Structure 1
Amino acid sequence: MRTGLATVLGVEVALLQAGMGGVAGTELACAVSNAGAAGCVGGYKLAGDALSAMLGRLVAGTDRPVGVNLIPEVVGPDDLAQQVEQVLAETPPYVYVSLFGMPEDAVFERVAASGRVLVVQVGTVEDGVLAAERGAVVVAQGTEAGGHLLGVSGRDDLVARLRDRLPDACIVAAGGIGSPADAERAVGAGADGVLLGTAFVVARESRAHPHFKMAVTAADGVDTVITDVYEIGWPGRRHRVLATPVTENPKQPKNFIGRTVVEGRVYPVPRFSAAVPTVATTGRIEEMALYCGLGCGAVSEELSAAVVVAAFARVVPSFRVVETG
């Protein structure tokens, strides 16, 4: 017997929003959660006062289940532990912890001790099994996904193999889900729900730069490439992006091509930066990292987060408990 995602998170729609750093601000996360799904804000490298400011806006914007996404391999174990402690200390119990990639065992133990829900995105069966055994909701990311890639398997294949190993686990599919039909296929492979990234990049509440949004809505899957050129700030990880002058000519100098503002602080943006262009970014936007999944062909207009959630609510499972075995 396994418990459905709706029960685990306390949501009405078994849909997670990806915690995309920069793009997924509190406006988007709260809008998704207020629409009945599970929103998620991108915590990325925020800490201290900057993280506190974001958490304050998050809890002021919704009293429904909502997540904070953190990235273990970007910040390292010590900083991640501090981020987790800050999230747990400064937010109410309905805020869940979302991790992109596997943390050390101490993080699993700390979140479990707090009674919070832990969501962990993985790209391999081995990591999925370990995360499920430690009590986490497992997000199975396929290579169809936009952004950084955690494995080499296709979405439905990874979901099916995880379901075979983990009949009672709560498994969410991620990667290339741009339409309800894509979601139906993922559910058919064994998923309890889906995670959307690209579809929310172009949501009205998203902080993605207007050029970024227009590029996604005009694109099809063939316009994306898997590369590792956007490595400044996040080295050693392949990513799927829209093809740009930088992906086409990766031997260009690492000059500064713009600047961006994060929680009131101004940062220069070098060519090959992993940072996405947001509404607070200026410069050569067309050269920056435009993360985009294979499902972009079904994402053709800027809609409100609530409209996106409603479209998928008809196809993702809302079951509370299902018999297994």
Structure 2
Amino acid sequence: MSLLQAGMGGVAGAELACAVSNAGAAGCAGGYKLVDGALSALLDRLTAGTDRPVGLNLIPEVVGPDELDRQVAQVLDETPERVYVSLFGMPDDDAVFERVVAAGRRLVVQVGTVEDGARAAEWGAVVVAQGIEAGGHLLGRSQRDELIAALRAQLPDACLAAAGGIGSPAEAARAVAAGADGVLLGTAFVVAHESRAHSYFKAAVTTADGADTVITDLYEIGWPGRRHRVLSTAVTRDPGQAKTFIGRTVVEGKPYLVPRFSSAVPTDATSGRIEEMAMYCGLSCGAISDEISAADVVAEFARVLPSAEVVENKRRMESNVRR
């Protein structure tokens, strides 16, 4: 399927991922820092909720190489082959790529530069080109279609998906015209019924437009050193506030305090000053006005996206022409 769902930590639980996959697209749950029993619980729900391909997203720079290796081992040991591995950003070395590919798993890697995309493509990964129009943590500094065009020029046979600022079928069609084989949606799925985003977060996305988002590095507790696009809040407008606790949340049954400037998103298990928390949101929000089911999101975009068969045939034809 040429429509992928972003594995957004906290927001994309097994319920959303399975709903997307059951609708015929590629669903993905956010693994974030989960390991051991907490990760096993998520993987159990993920495999029980769908018999279709579905993924787990992991973040190399947040957990580090040792923890990433543990997470990957759990995915490979505890799930069937239809569960693919999705990486947000690049690992320190290619050992993770080698391990995933050797296990016969599909690999999806989100990148922000041509260099990283080329490295991921060498391992047969679906390369997701993220532009700065995207919500959440930003991996590069290029516009989406500029990055897609550059990647396509260097990687004519790669499977490329575009991410960033895609809130309507028309915008998805523009990304395909720029050279993408498909698209990855994040913000559009934040407001899905099955999303675990807090109701305040969902409502804020549906009433916002691109001008209500800002790129900042303020929400850095838990994920330092990375710029991100969020909805403008009292925190982004006044960054001199104290790093005090402003809420509570629960992750896989374990309670946590949420400090101001935390990178954690407000979920349906979060309480406190939701309006001050990190509400990741892309420029696509201007085209998103309703909370709908994940299946309806998939149906809306599928009509403008090429099928997997069309993508494969196109790549074969282009390869034959070059020969």
TM bucket (normalised to shorter chain) is over 0.9
Aligned with residue 256 of structure 1, among 245, 249, 266: 245
Aligned with residue 184 of structure 1, among 160, 173, 185: 173
Instruction: Summarize deviations over 1:184-241 as a string: whole Å, max 9, x none.
Output: 0000000000000000000000000000000000000000000000000000000000
Q: Are residues 1:313 and 2:302 paired?
A: yes
Over 4 Å off, 4+ runs: none
Q: Given the two structures, how large is their TM-score scaled by the length of structure 1?
A: 0.96
Aligned with residue 286 of structure 1, among 266, 275, 296: 275
1:162-177 pair list within 5 angstroms: 162-177=151-166
Partner of 2:41: 53
1:214-253 pair list within 5 angstroms: 214-253=203-242
Shift of 1:153: 0.1
- The letter for the 1-side match of 2:248 is R
Aligned with residue 65 of structure 1, among 41, 50, 53: 53
Aligned with residue 107 of structure 1, among 91, 96, 99: 96
Distance 1:174 1:281 in 2: 27
- The letter for the 2-side match of 1:37 is A
Between the two proteins, the alignment pairs up a number of residues equal to 313
Match of 1:76, SS state, is helix
Partner of 1:149: 138
Partner of 2:290: 301
Aligned-residue RMSD, C-alpha: 0.5
Aligned with residue 11 of structure 2, among 17, 23, 33: 23
Higher relative contact order (CA 8 A, sep 6+): 1
Aligned with residue 200 of structure 1, among 171, 189, 198: 189
Match of 2:201, SS state, is helix
Distance 1:113 1:165 in 2: 25
- The letter for the 2-side match of 1:142 is G
Q: Given the two structures, how large is their TM-score scaled by the length of structure 2?
A: 0.96
Distance 2:122 2:75 in 1: 23
Distance 1:112 1:214 in 2: 40
Distance 1:280 1:60 in 2: 22
Distance 2:126 2:195 in 1: 25
Partner of 2:106: 117
Instruction: Summarize deviations over 1:79-113 as a string: whole Å, max 9, x none.
Output: 00010000010000000000000112100110011
- Listed as ranges, the gaps of 5+ residues in structure 1 are 1-5, 7-13
